[in-house]
Amino acid sequence: MIVVPAIDIRHGNCVRLYQGREDRETVYWKDPVGMARTWQSRGAPMLHVADLDGAFQGKPANLHLLAKMKKELTIPIQIGGGFRDMGSIQAAVDIGADWIILGTAAVYDPDLVIQAVSEFGHKIAVSIDVSDDFVAVAGWKELSSVRFDDLARRMKNQGVQRLLFTDTRKDGTLQGPNLAGIRLFLEAAMGAQVMVSGGISSLDDIISLKEFEPQGLDGVVVGKALYDAKFTLEDALRIVH
């Protein structure tokens, strides 16, 4: 299991949102590329980049920052936020994104997921953003009628090799991860690579999540806890190694 720092980009800044709410934003860094360099220098094995502008407007808005990161960094980067057509996915692939994360498209345009997997294979990941038992979409502004475990099972059966679980109620709250939801998600996604995020607040949370490694948990994406210095990336990496 690996620990992956998150870089959430909005209006050119590195930010964190409370439960994904636009009106609950904290700006941590005004240079996302510089932040990416910092995380790499501190041992990050990869980065998770969330284009919040893209998620809210329905098309990627910060691919130019991804391009700068890929030029300056050597670690892999996954990016999500607004990828809802083949053109935007192709643009991210051309820049060098190691994984492109689809979210809303998995609910509203499953044919796009099938097409993207056929074209780009393992580079396609799907983020399943959970609110209680259902999937949140459109930058978490809408709640679908699709159960999160059903969607995980469907995406795996459609050939998606990499899945992300985010509890939207926990994200940015430092209230601890949704262990029961993660357990159910891992059962549904068995055979896929799985990363989880949302609510992680302490090294004890990392230790608790590591217990899911035999069930297929490959990584933990951490944002606010690292930015608020609840623990260091270095200490988290020592725990998982």
Residues with active-site annotation: 8, 129
In this structure, what token pair is assigned to residue 82? 């607004």
* C-alpha–C-alpha distance, residues 208 and 176, integer Å: 10
How would you write the chain as a 3-class SS string? CEEEEEEEEECCEEEEEHHHCCCCEEEEECCHHHHHHHHHHCCCCCEEEEEHHHHHHCCCCCHHHHHHHHHHCCCCEEEECCCCCHHHHHHHHHHCCCEEEECHHHHHCHHHHHHHHHHHHHHEEEEEEEECCEEEECCCCEEEEEEHHHHHHHHHHCCCCEEEEEECCCCCCCCCCCHHHHHHHHHHCCCCEEEEECCCCCHHHHHHHHCCHHHCEEEEEECHHHHCCCCCHHHHHHHHC
* C-alpha–C-alpha distance, residues 191 and 194, integer Å: 9
In this structure, what token pair is assigned to residue 17? 């949102």
**Greatest pairwise CA separation for the chain in angstroms:** 42
